[in-house]
Protein backbone atom coordinates (compact mmCIF):
# COMPACT_ATOMS: atom_id res chain seq x y z
CA UNK A 1 0.00 0.00 0.00
CA UNK A 2 1.49 3.36 -0.97
CA UNK A 3 1.25 6.22 1.47
CA UNK A 4 -0.10 9.62 0.48
CA UNK A 5 -0.06 13.05 2.04
CA UNK A 6 -3.18 14.06 3.96
CA UNK A 7 -3.93 17.68 3.12
CA UNK A 8 -7.22 19.48 3.68
CA UNK A 9 -8.89 16.15 4.44
CA UNK A 10 -7.80 14.62 1.10
CA UNK A 11 -5.21 11.96 0.34
CA UNK A 12 -2.88 13.06 -2.44
CA UNK A 13 0.43 12.31 -4.12
CA UNK A 14 3.39 14.65 -3.63
CA UNK A 15 3.43 17.50 -6.16
CA UNK A 16 6.92 16.65 -7.48
CA UNK A 17 6.03 12.94 -7.57
CA UNK A 18 9.16 11.99 -5.58
CA UNK A 19 8.92 8.82 -3.54
CA UNK A 20 10.97 7.02 -0.87
CA UNK A 21 11.11 3.28 -0.19
CA UNK A 22 9.54 2.11 3.06
CA UNK A 23 11.19 -0.97 4.64
CA UNK A 24 9.81 -3.72 6.82
CA UNK A 25 12.56 -4.21 9.46
CA UNK A 26 11.46 -7.76 10.27
CA UNK A 27 12.54 -9.03 6.83
CA UNK A 28 14.45 -6.13 5.26
CA UNK A 29 12.00 -5.92 2.31
CA UNK A 30 10.59 -2.76 0.75
CA UNK A 31 6.85 -2.95 1.23
CA UNK A 32 5.54 0.50 0.36
CA UNK A 33 6.46 3.91 -1.01
CA UNK A 34 6.06 7.20 0.77
CA UNK A 35 6.05 10.75 -0.61
CA UNK A 36 9.20 12.81 -0.30
CA UNK A 37 7.31 16.06 0.00
CA UNK A 38 8.85 19.40 -0.88
CA UNK A 39 8.22 23.01 0.08
CA UNK A 40 5.28 23.02 -2.38
CA UNK A 41 3.44 20.28 -0.48
CA UNK A 42 4.21 21.97 2.84
CA UNK A 43 2.89 25.24 1.42
CA UNK A 44 -0.34 23.55 0.36
CA UNK A 45 -0.70 22.00 3.81
CA UNK A 46 0.00 25.36 5.42
CA UNK A 47 -2.65 27.12 3.31
CA UNK A 48 -5.25 24.48 4.21
CA UNK A 49 -4.35 24.84 7.89
CA UNK A 50 -4.49 28.63 7.74
CA UNK A 51 -7.99 28.60 6.25
CA UNK A 52 -9.21 25.94 8.70
CA UNK A 53 -7.84 27.95 11.65
CA UNK A 54 -10.44 30.71 11.18
CA UNK A 55 -13.20 28.24 12.10
CA UNK A 56 -11.34 25.89 14.41
CA UNK A 57 -10.13 28.61 16.79
CA UNK A 58 -13.72 29.62 17.45
CA UNK A 59 -15.16 26.10 17.57
CA UNK A 60 -16.60 25.52 21.04
CA UNK A 61 -14.53 23.54 23.49
CA UNK A 62 -17.33 20.97 23.74
CA UNK A 63 -17.25 20.39 20.00
CA UNK A 64 -13.44 20.14 19.85
CA UNK A 65 -13.57 17.73 22.76
CA UNK A 66 -16.34 15.64 21.15
CA UNK A 67 -14.37 15.20 17.91
CA UNK A 68 -11.16 14.33 19.73
CA UNK A 69 -12.96 11.75 21.86
CA UNK A 70 -14.30 10.22 18.67
CA UNK A 71 -10.74 9.98 17.26
CA UNK A 72 -9.65 8.31 20.50
CA UNK A 73 -12.51 5.77 20.22
CA UNK A 74 -11.69 5.04 16.59
CA UNK A 75 -8.05 4.38 17.45
CA UNK A 76 -9.25 1.91 20.10
CA UNK A 77 -11.66 0.28 17.68
CA UNK A 78 -8.81 -0.19 15.18
CA UNK A 79 -6.35 -1.51 17.78
CA UNK A 80 -5.39 -4.70 15.95
CA UNK A 81 -5.00 -3.09 12.54
CA UNK A 82 -2.94 -0.19 13.89
CA UNK A 83 -0.76 -2.42 16.08
CA UNK A 84 0.03 -4.70 13.16
CA UNK A 85 0.83 -1.72 10.95
CA UNK A 86 3.08 -0.22 13.63
CA UNK A 87 4.93 -3.47 14.09
CA UNK A 88 5.44 -3.98 10.36
CA UNK A 89 6.80 -0.45 9.97
CA UNK A 90 8.98 -0.35 13.07
CA UNK A 91 9.95 -3.95 13.90
CA UNK A 92 8.55 -3.85 17.43
CA UNK A 93 6.61 -6.85 18.74
CA UNK A 94 2.91 -6.69 17.79
CA UNK A 95 2.10 -7.52 21.42
CA UNK A 96 3.97 -4.41 22.58
CA UNK A 97 2.22 -2.20 20.04
CA UNK A 98 -1.14 -3.62 21.19
CA UNK A 99 -0.37 -3.13 24.85
CA UNK A 100 1.52 0.19 24.78
CA UNK A 101 1.76 2.17 21.54
CA UNK A 102 -1.79 2.16 20.24
CA UNK A 103 -3.59 2.41 23.60
CA UNK A 104 -1.35 5.36 24.46
CA UNK A 105 -2.16 7.07 21.14
CA UNK A 106 -5.84 6.69 21.99
CA UNK A 107 -5.20 8.01 25.54
CA UNK A 108 -3.38 11.04 24.15
CA UNK A 109 -6.50 12.16 22.25
CA UNK A 110 -8.80 11.28 25.16
CA UNK A 111 -6.59 13.02 27.70
CA UNK A 112 -6.38 16.30 25.76
CA UNK A 113 -10.07 16.14 24.80
CA UNK A 114 -10.76 16.29 28.54
CA UNK A 115 -7.87 18.59 29.50
CA UNK A 116 -9.02 21.32 27.11
CA UNK A 117 -12.29 21.61 29.01
CA UNK A 118 -10.37 22.14 32.28
CA UNK A 119 -7.68 24.52 31.02
CA UNK A 120 -8.00 27.92 32.69
CA UNK A 121 -5.93 31.07 32.86
CA UNK A 122 -5.07 33.42 35.71
CA UNK A 123 -6.42 36.75 36.80
CA UNK A 124 -4.69 39.30 39.01
CA UNK A 125 -6.55 42.04 40.80
CA UNK A 126 -4.39 45.17 41.11
CA UNK A 127 -5.59 46.09 44.59
CA UNK A 128 -5.77 49.82 45.31
CA UNK A 129 -5.56 50.70 41.58
CA UNK A 130 -9.09 49.76 40.55
CA UNK A 131 -7.86 47.40 37.89
CA UNK A 132 -8.04 43.78 37.05
CA UNK A 133 -5.69 41.81 34.81
CA UNK A 134 -6.62 38.57 33.18
CA UNK A 135 -4.65 36.32 30.88
CA UNK A 136 -6.07 35.23 27.57
CA UNK A 137 -4.61 31.95 26.30
CA UNK A 138 -5.02 32.15 22.53
CA UNK A 139 -4.07 29.50 19.99
CA UNK A 140 -0.93 30.31 18.03
CA UNK A 141 -2.31 29.59 14.54
CA UNK A 142 -0.56 27.05 12.35
CA UNK A 143 1.97 24.89 14.20
CA UNK A 144 4.41 22.17 13.11
CA UNK A 145 4.74 18.76 14.76
CA UNK A 146 7.71 16.54 13.83
CA UNK A 147 8.05 13.10 15.39
CA UNK A 148 10.53 10.19 15.42
CA UNK A 149 10.41 6.49 14.54
CA UNK A 150 10.70 4.78 17.92
CA UNK A 151 7.13 5.24 19.21
CA UNK A 152 5.50 6.35 15.97
CA UNK A 153 1.77 6.91 16.60
CA UNK A 154 2.33 7.32 20.36
CA UNK A 155 4.59 10.36 19.90
CA UNK A 156 2.88 11.73 16.77
CA UNK A 157 -0.42 11.93 18.66
CA UNK A 158 1.31 13.24 21.82
CA UNK A 159 2.03 16.42 19.83
CA UNK A 160 -0.99 16.69 17.58
CA UNK A 161 -3.61 16.17 20.30
CA UNK A 162 -2.63 19.15 22.51
CA UNK A 163 -2.01 21.32 19.43
CA UNK A 164 -5.53 20.91 18.07
CA UNK A 165 -7.08 20.84 21.56
CA UNK A 166 -5.69 24.35 22.09
CA UNK A 167 -7.34 25.52 18.85
CA UNK A 168 -4.38 25.41 16.47
CA UNK A 169 -4.23 23.82 13.04
CA UNK A 170 -1.32 21.54 12.33
CA UNK A 171 1.20 20.65 9.64
CA UNK A 172 2.68 17.38 10.90
CA UNK A 173 5.43 15.07 9.71
CA UNK A 174 6.00 11.59 11.07
CA UNK A 175 9.37 9.92 10.65
CA UNK A 176 10.02 8.78 7.08
CA UNK A 177 11.19 5.50 8.62
CA UNK A 178 7.77 4.74 10.20
CA UNK A 179 5.04 6.67 8.37
CA UNK A 180 2.26 4.07 8.20
CA UNK A 181 0.16 4.68 11.32
CA UNK A 182 0.26 8.45 10.79
CA UNK A 183 -1.17 7.79 7.33
CA UNK A 184 -3.91 5.61 8.80
CA UNK A 185 -4.68 8.28 11.40
CA UNK A 186 -5.78 10.61 8.58
CA UNK A 187 -8.59 8.19 7.66
CA UNK A 188 -9.73 8.04 11.28
CA UNK A 189 -9.74 11.84 11.57
CA UNK A 190 -12.03 12.07 8.55
CA UNK A 191 -14.31 9.40 10.01
CA UNK A 192 -14.42 11.28 13.33
CA UNK A 193 -15.52 14.46 11.53
CA UNK A 194 -12.38 16.53 12.16
CA UNK A 195 -12.90 19.57 9.91
CA UNK A 196 -10.77 19.63 6.77
CA UNK A 197 -7.40 21.32 7.19
CA UNK A 198 -7.24 21.15 11.00
CA UNK A 199 -4.66 18.38 10.70
CA UNK A 200 -2.44 18.02 7.64
CA UNK A 201 0.13 15.25 7.38
CA UNK A 202 3.05 15.59 4.98
CA UNK A 203 5.49 12.74 4.56
CA UNK A 204 9.13 12.83 3.60
CA UNK A 205 12.74 13.14 4.65
CA UNK A 206 13.78 15.40 7.48
CA UNK A 207 16.15 17.28 5.23
CA UNK A 208 13.44 18.08 2.68
CA UNK A 209 9.95 17.96 4.25
CA UNK A 210 10.98 18.54 7.88
CA UNK A 211 13.28 21.37 6.89
CA UNK A 212 10.46 22.97 4.84
CA UNK A 213 8.16 22.92 7.88
CA UNK A 214 10.78 24.45 10.16
CA UNK A 215 11.68 27.12 7.57
CA UNK A 216 8.09 28.09 6.81
CA UNK A 217 7.61 31.64 8.10
CA UNK A 218 3.87 31.11 8.74
CA UNK A 219 4.38 28.09 11.00
CA UNK A 220 4.89 29.82 14.31
CA UNK A 221 5.71 26.96 16.68
CA UNK A 222 7.52 23.65 16.31
CA UNK A 223 7.15 20.66 18.59
CA UNK A 224 9.91 18.17 17.81
CA UNK A 225 11.03 14.83 19.22
CA UNK A 226 14.15 13.17 17.87
CA UNK A 227 17.92 13.20 17.97
CA UNK A 228 19.88 15.96 19.74
CA UNK A 229 21.83 16.95 16.60
CA UNK A 230 18.58 17.42 14.68
CA UNK A 231 17.12 19.42 17.57
CA UNK A 232 20.14 21.74 17.55
CA UNK A 233 19.80 22.22 13.79
CA UNK A 234 16.08 23.02 14.11
CA UNK A 235 16.79 25.55 16.87
CA UNK A 236 19.33 27.29 14.63
CA UNK A 237 16.90 27.55 11.71
CA UNK A 238 13.93 28.60 13.83
CA UNK A 239 15.61 31.08 16.18
CA UNK A 240 15.90 34.03 13.72
CA UNK A 241 12.16 33.70 13.08
CA UNK A 242 11.47 33.71 16.86
CA UNK A 243 9.41 30.55 16.68
CA UNK A 244 8.23 28.87 19.84
CA UNK A 245 10.14 25.61 20.22
CA UNK A 246 9.58 22.47 22.24
CA UNK A 247 12.47 20.04 21.74
CA UNK A 248 12.36 16.56 23.24
CA UNK A 249 15.77 15.09 22.48
CA UNK A 250 18.03 12.20 23.35
CA UNK A 251 19.04 10.70 26.65
CA UNK A 252 21.75 8.65 28.33
CA UNK A 253 19.82 7.85 31.43
CA UNK A 254 21.28 6.44 34.66
CA UNK A 255 19.59 3.56 36.46
CA UNK A 256 20.96 3.71 40.02
CA UNK A 257 20.50 0.65 42.20
CA UNK A 258 21.14 0.66 45.95
CA UNK A 259 21.44 -2.52 48.00
CA UNK A 260 18.39 -1.62 50.13
CA UNK A 261 15.96 -1.72 47.19
CA UNK A 262 13.18 -4.29 46.65
CA UNK A 263 15.46 -6.55 44.66
CA UNK A 264 12.99 -8.67 42.69
CA UNK A 265 10.93 -5.69 41.64
CA UNK A 266 14.09 -3.83 40.64
CA UNK A 267 15.40 -6.76 38.60
CA UNK A 268 12.14 -7.26 36.71
CA UNK A 269 11.77 -3.55 35.96
CA UNK A 270 15.43 -3.15 35.00
CA UNK A 271 14.99 -5.80 32.29
CA UNK A 272 12.16 -3.66 30.90
CA UNK A 273 13.89 -0.29 31.32
CA UNK A 274 16.91 -1.68 29.47
CA UNK A 275 15.32 -3.51 26.54
CA UNK A 276 11.68 -2.44 26.06
CA UNK A 277 11.09 -1.54 22.41
CA UNK A 278 14.58 -2.95 21.61
CA UNK A 279 16.03 -0.24 23.87
CA UNK A 280 14.76 2.40 21.44
CA UNK A 281 13.05 4.69 23.95
CA UNK A 282 14.73 7.94 24.92
CA UNK A 283 13.86 7.12 28.56
CA UNK A 284 15.56 3.71 28.71
CA UNK A 285 18.07 3.35 31.53
CA UNK A 286 21.13 2.57 29.45
CA UNK A 287 23.76 3.17 32.19
CA UNK A 288 23.18 0.86 35.14
CA UNK A 289 25.08 1.67 38.34
CA UNK A 290 24.89 -0.95 41.11
CA UNK A 291 25.99 -0.56 44.73
CA UNK A 292 29.14 -2.59 45.23
CA UNK A 293 27.73 -4.96 47.88
CA UNK A 294 25.15 -6.43 45.46
CA UNK A 295 27.09 -5.97 42.23
CA UNK A 296 28.17 -9.60 41.68
CA UNK A 297 24.71 -10.95 42.54
CA UNK A 298 23.02 -8.44 40.23
CA UNK A 299 25.42 -9.23 37.41
CA UNK A 300 24.64 -12.97 37.54
CA UNK A 301 20.86 -12.55 37.96
CA UNK A 302 20.53 -9.83 35.32
CA UNK A 303 22.51 -11.66 32.67
CA UNK A 304 20.60 -14.87 33.39
CA UNK A 305 17.30 -13.05 32.81
CA UNK A 306 18.47 -11.30 29.67
CA UNK A 307 19.56 -14.60 28.13
CA UNK A 308 15.94 -15.82 28.38
CA UNK A 309 14.51 -12.94 26.32
CA UNK A 310 13.43 -14.29 22.98
CA UNK A 311 14.65 -12.35 19.96
CA UNK A 312 12.24 -13.13 17.17
CA UNK A 313 9.77 -12.11 14.53
CA UNK A 314 7.55 -9.30 15.86
CA UNK A 315 4.34 -11.22 15.14
CA UNK A 316 5.25 -14.18 17.37
CA UNK A 317 3.47 -13.91 20.70
CA UNK A 318 6.49 -14.90 22.81
CA UNK A 319 8.92 -12.48 21.11
CA UNK A 320 10.35 -10.05 23.66
CA UNK A 321 12.91 -8.35 21.41
CA UNK A 322 11.84 -7.63 17.83
CA UNK A 323 13.81 -6.08 14.97
CA UNK A 324 15.68 -2.79 15.16
CA UNK A 325 14.12 -0.05 13.10
CA UNK A 326 16.51 0.04 10.13
CA UNK A 327 19.71 -1.36 8.69
CA UNK A 328 21.71 1.86 9.27
CA UNK A 329 20.48 1.92 12.86
CA UNK A 330 21.44 -1.73 13.41
CA UNK A 331 24.90 -0.94 12.03
CA UNK A 332 25.21 2.11 14.30
CA UNK A 333 24.31 0.06 17.39
CA UNK A 334 26.71 -2.76 16.43
CA UNK A 335 29.50 -0.26 15.92
CA UNK A 336 29.02 0.84 19.55
CA UNK A 337 29.46 -2.77 20.69
CA UNK A 338 32.83 -2.81 18.88
CA UNK A 339 33.75 0.52 20.45
CA UNK A 340 32.94 -0.89 23.90
CA UNK A 341 35.31 -3.81 23.30
CA UNK A 342 38.04 -1.47 22.01
CA UNK A 343 37.63 0.59 25.19
CA UNK A 344 38.11 -2.40 27.48
CA UNK A 345 34.46 -3.32 28.08
CA UNK A 346 33.44 -6.94 28.61
CA UNK A 347 30.39 -8.21 26.76
CA UNK A 348 28.58 -10.30 29.40
CA UNK A 349 25.82 -11.41 27.05
CA UNK A 350 24.59 -10.64 23.55
CA UNK A 351 26.60 -8.55 21.12
CA UNK A 352 25.68 -10.50 18.00
CA UNK A 353 23.30 -10.13 15.10
CA UNK A 354 20.52 -12.73 15.21
CA UNK A 355 19.32 -14.65 12.16
CA UNK A 356 15.63 -15.40 12.48
CA UNK A 357 14.59 -18.37 10.35
CA UNK A 358 12.49 -17.29 7.39
CA UNK A 359 13.42 -13.63 7.98
CA UNK A 360 17.17 -13.77 7.37
CA UNK A 361 17.37 -10.16 6.11
CA UNK A 362 15.69 -8.69 9.20
CA UNK A 363 17.53 -6.34 11.57
CA UNK A 364 17.78 -8.46 14.72
CA UNK A 365 20.32 -8.04 17.51
CA UNK A 366 20.81 -9.87 20.79
CA UNK A 367 20.09 -7.81 23.92
CA UNK A 368 23.55 -6.86 25.06
CA UNK A 369 25.00 -6.23 28.52
CA UNK A 370 28.47 -4.73 28.75
CA UNK A 371 30.54 -4.40 31.90
CA UNK A 372 32.54 -1.19 31.60
CA UNK A 373 35.75 -0.41 33.50
CA UNK A 374 35.09 3.34 33.71
CA UNK A 375 32.28 5.79 33.29
CA UNK A 376 34.26 7.95 30.84
CA UNK A 377 34.03 5.51 27.92
CA UNK A 378 32.07 6.46 24.82
CA UNK A 379 29.42 3.78 25.36
CA UNK A 380 28.63 5.45 28.68
CA UNK A 381 28.62 8.96 27.28
CA UNK A 382 26.95 8.72 23.86
CA UNK A 383 23.36 7.79 23.05
CA UNK A 384 23.23 4.32 21.46
CA UNK A 385 19.42 4.02 21.35
CA UNK A 386 19.35 0.25 20.98
CA UNK A 387 19.37 -2.98 23.01
CA UNK A 388 22.69 -2.25 24.70
CA UNK A 389 23.22 -1.39 28.37
CA UNK A 390 26.34 -1.00 30.47
CA UNK A 391 26.82 -2.01 34.09
CA UNK A 392 29.37 -0.91 36.66
CA UNK A 393 29.61 -0.83 40.47
CA UNK A 394 29.70 2.21 42.75
CA UNK A 395 30.75 2.69 46.37
CA UNK A 396 29.08 5.86 47.60
CA UNK A 397 26.10 8.10 46.95
CA UNK A 398 28.37 11.02 46.03
CA UNK A 399 30.33 8.92 43.56
CA UNK A 400 27.23 7.65 41.77
CA UNK A 401 25.63 11.10 41.68
CA UNK A 402 28.72 12.48 40.07
CA UNK A 403 28.76 9.74 37.42
CA UNK A 404 25.02 10.00 36.81
CA UNK A 405 25.32 13.73 36.08
CA UNK A 406 28.56 13.55 34.11
CA UNK A 407 26.94 13.27 30.68
CA UNK A 408 25.75 15.96 28.30
CA UNK A 409 22.19 14.61 28.50
CA UNK A 410 19.58 15.06 31.25
CA UNK A 411 16.33 13.39 30.31
CA UNK A 412 15.40 10.82 32.94
CA UNK A 413 16.95 8.97 35.87
CA UNK A 414 15.80 5.91 37.81
CA UNK A 415 16.63 5.37 41.45
CA UNK A 416 16.14 2.12 43.38
CA UNK A 417 16.24 2.56 47.17
CA UNK A 418 13.99 2.40 50.21
CA UNK A 419 15.88 5.12 52.06
CA UNK A 420 13.61 8.15 52.13
CA UNK A 421 16.28 10.68 53.08
CA UNK A 422 18.57 9.46 50.34
CA UNK A 423 15.66 9.64 47.88
CA UNK A 424 14.98 13.25 48.81
CA UNK A 425 18.67 14.19 48.59
CA UNK A 426 19.28 12.48 45.29
CA UNK A 427 16.11 13.44 43.42
CA UNK A 428 17.02 17.08 44.03
CA UNK A 429 20.54 16.66 42.72
CA UNK A 430 19.99 14.43 39.70
CA UNK A 431 20.22 16.48 36.51
CA UNK A 432 17.14 15.19 34.73
CA UNK A 433 13.67 16.32 33.71
CA UNK A 434 12.08 13.13 35.07
CA UNK A 435 13.17 10.99 38.03
CA UNK A 436 11.53 7.65 38.69
CA UNK A 437 11.98 6.14 42.15
CA UNK A 438 11.36 2.38 42.46
CA UNK A 439 9.61 2.29 39.09
CA UNK A 440 10.20 3.16 35.44
CA UNK A 441 8.07 4.71 32.71
CA UNK A 442 5.08 5.06 34.99
CA UNK A 443 3.25 7.84 33.18
CA UNK A 444 0.56 10.23 34.34
CA UNK A 445 -0.25 12.40 31.35
CA UNK A 446 -0.87 15.46 33.59
CA UNK A 447 2.81 15.66 34.54
CA UNK A 448 5.47 17.83 32.86
CA UNK A 449 7.59 15.85 30.41
CA UNK A 450 10.94 16.93 29.01
CA UNK A 451 14.65 17.14 29.60
CA UNK A 452 17.48 19.40 30.71
CA UNK A 453 20.93 19.98 29.18
CA UNK A 454 21.22 18.39 25.69
CA UNK A 455 17.99 16.45 26.22
CA UNK A 456 15.90 19.38 25.18
CA UNK A 457 14.09 22.60 25.85
CA UNK A 458 10.55 23.02 27.13
CA UNK A 459 8.01 20.71 28.69
CA UNK A 460 5.12 18.82 27.16
CA UNK A 461 2.34 16.89 28.91
CA UNK A 462 -0.77 18.13 30.69
CA UNK A 463 -1.34 21.87 30.91
CA UNK A 464 2.34 22.46 30.02
CA UNK A 465 1.52 21.32 26.48
CA UNK A 466 -1.58 23.51 26.31
CA UNK A 467 0.53 26.44 27.52
CA UNK A 468 3.12 25.72 24.83
CA UNK A 469 0.48 25.64 22.11
CA UNK A 470 -1.08 28.97 23.18
CA UNK A 471 0.15 32.54 23.47
CA UNK A 472 -0.53 34.31 26.75
CA UNK A 473 -1.98 37.80 26.40
CA UNK A 474 -2.50 39.96 29.47
CA UNK A 475 -5.54 42.23 29.46
CA UNK A 476 -5.56 45.04 32.03
CA UNK A 477 -8.93 46.72 32.67
CA UNK A 478 -9.24 49.82 34.83
CA UNK A 479 -12.66 50.43 36.35
N1 LIG B 1 13.12 10.24 20.91
C2 LIG B 1 14.40 10.31 20.83
O3 LIG B 1 15.04 10.71 21.72
C4 LIG B 1 15.01 9.88 19.58
C5 LIG B 1 16.36 9.91 19.47
N6 LIG B 1 16.92 9.54 18.31
C7 LIG B 1 18.37 9.57 18.25
O8 LIG B 1 18.75 10.22 17.08
C9 LIG B 1 19.54 9.36 16.29
C10 LIG B 1 19.25 9.62 14.85
O11 LIG B 1 17.97 9.13 14.52
P12 LIG B 1 17.13 9.77 13.36
O13 LIG B 1 16.07 8.93 12.89
O14 LIG B 1 18.10 10.21 12.32
O15 LIG B 1 16.46 10.98 14.15
P16 LIG B 1 16.12 12.39 13.64
O17 LIG B 1 16.29 13.35 14.74
O18 LIG B 1 16.85 12.66 12.37
O19 LIG B 1 14.57 12.25 13.25
C20 LIG B 1 13.48 12.68 14.01
C21 LIG B 1 12.50 13.43 13.11
O22 LIG B 1 13.10 14.65 12.68
C23 LIG B 1 13.01 14.76 11.27
N24 LIG B 1 14.12 15.57 10.79
C25 LIG B 1 15.38 15.16 10.50
N26 LIG B 1 16.10 16.21 10.05
C27 LIG B 1 15.30 17.29 10.08
C28 LIG B 1 15.47 18.66 9.74
N29 LIG B 1 16.62 19.14 9.25
N30 LIG B 1 14.44 19.51 9.92
C31 LIG B 1 13.26 19.05 10.40
N32 LIG B 1 13.03 17.75 10.70
C33 LIG B 1 14.04 16.89 10.56
C34 LIG B 1 13.01 13.32 10.80
O35 LIG B 1 12.51 13.20 9.49
C36 LIG B 1 12.10 12.68 11.84
O37 LIG B 1 10.75 12.93 11.53
C38 LIG B 1 19.17 7.96 16.77
O39 LIG B 1 20.15 7.03 16.52
C40 LIG B 1 18.97 8.19 18.22
O41 LIG B 1 20.21 8.19 18.87
C42 LIG B 1 16.16 9.16 17.25
C43 LIG B 1 14.81 9.11 17.32
C44 LIG B 1 14.13 9.43 18.52
O1 LIG C 1 5.63 10.37 26.81
C2 LIG C 1 6.09 9.25 27.02
O3 LIG C 1 5.55 8.46 27.77
C4 LIG C 1 7.30 8.77 26.35
C5 LIG C 1 8.01 9.52 25.54
C6 LIG C 1 9.14 8.96 24.87
C7 LIG C 1 9.92 9.65 24.04
O8 LIG C 1 9.79 10.96 23.86
C9 LIG C 1 10.96 8.99 23.20
O10 LIG C 1 11.28 7.83 23.41
O11 LIG C 1 11.45 9.67 22.33
- Cα separation, 406 vs 384, in Å, equals 17
Whether residue 270 contacts residue 277, with contact meaning beta carbons closer than 8 Å, is answered with: no
Of all protein residues, the one whose alpha carbon is nearest to atom 27 of ligand 1 is 206
Mean pLDDT by 10 residues, the chain (479 residues): 95 98 98 98 99 98 98 99 98 98 99 98 97 98 98 98 99 98 98 99 98 98 98 98 98 98 98 98 98 98 98 98 98 98 98 98 98 97 98 98 98 98 98 98 98 98 98 98
* Any atom of ligand 2 within 6 Å of the Cβ of 395: no
Task: Please give the pLDDT value at position 44.
Answer: 98
Task: Please give the pLDDT value at position 1.
Answer: 75
* Any atom of ligand 1 within 6 Å of the Cβ of 460: no
Whether residue 197 contacts residue 172, with contact meaning beta carbons closer than 8 Å, is answered with: no
Catalytic residue among 248, 291, 383, 464: 248
Atom of ligand 1 nearest to the CA of 329: 39
Atom of ligand 2 nearest to the CA of 158: 1
Atom of ligand 1 nearest to the CA of 146: 37
SS3 of 72-111: HHHHHHCHHHHHHHHHHHHCCCHHHHHHHHHHHHHHHHHH
Q: Mutate which of 206, 248, 327 to test ligand 1's pocket (most atoms within 8 Å of Cβ)?
A: 206
* Any atom of ligand 1 within 6 Å of the Cβ of 386: no
Atom of ligand 1 nearest to the CA of 213: 31
Question: Minimum-distance ligand to the CA of 335?
Answer: 1
What is the number of residues in the chain? 479
User: Is residue 248 annotated as a catalytic residue, yes or no?
Assistant: yes
Of all protein residues, the one whose alpha carbon is nearest to atom 2 of ligand 2 is 443
Return the domain boundaries, the chain.
5-249+455-478, 254-445
- How many angstroms does the Cα of residue 114 sit away from the middle of ligand 2? 21
26-58 burial code (b ≥16 CB/10 A, e <16):
bbbeeebbbbbbbbebbebbbbbbbebbeebbe
Task: Please give the pLDDT value at position 327.
Answer: 98
Architecture of domain 254-445: 3-Layer(aba) Sandwich (3.40)
* Any atom of ligand 1 within 6 Å of the Cβ of 44: no
194 CB-near residues (< 8 Å, 6+ apart): 9, 67, 71, 164
In sign, the C-alpha dihedral spanning 2, 83, 183, 210 is negative
pTM above 0.95, yes or no: yes
- How many angstroms does the Cα of residue 458 sit away from the middle of ligand 1? 17
Tell how strand 123-126 and strand 5-7 pair up.
Answer: unpaired
Tell whether domain 5-249+455-478 is in CATH 3.40.605.10: yes
- How many angstroms does the Cα of residue 133 sit away from the middle of ligand 2? 37
Q: Mutate which of 278, 281, 455 to test ligand 2's pocket (most atoms within 8 Å of Cβ)?
A: 281
Atom of ligand 1 nearest to the CA of 325: 13
95-133 burial code (b ≥16 CB/10 A, e <16):
bbbbebbbbbbbbbbbbbbebbeebeeeeeeeeeeeeee
* Any atom of ligand 2 within 6 Å of the Cβ of 449: yes
In sign, the C-alpha dihedral spanning 351, 87, 414, 305 is negative
SS3 328: helix
Amino acid sequence: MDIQNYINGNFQNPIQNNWIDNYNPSNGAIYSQIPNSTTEDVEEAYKAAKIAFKQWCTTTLEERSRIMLKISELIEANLDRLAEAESKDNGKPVALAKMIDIPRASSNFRFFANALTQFASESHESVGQNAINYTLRQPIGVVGCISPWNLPLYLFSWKIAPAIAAGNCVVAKPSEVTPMTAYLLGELCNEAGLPKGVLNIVHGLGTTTGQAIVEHPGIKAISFTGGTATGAHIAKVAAPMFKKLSLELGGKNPNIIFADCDYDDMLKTTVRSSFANQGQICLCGSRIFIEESIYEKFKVDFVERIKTLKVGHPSEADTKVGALVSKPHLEKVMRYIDIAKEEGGTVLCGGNKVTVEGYENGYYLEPTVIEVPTDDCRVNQEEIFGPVVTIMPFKTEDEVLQMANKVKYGLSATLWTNDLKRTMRMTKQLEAGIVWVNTWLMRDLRTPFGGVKNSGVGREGGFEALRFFTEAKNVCIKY
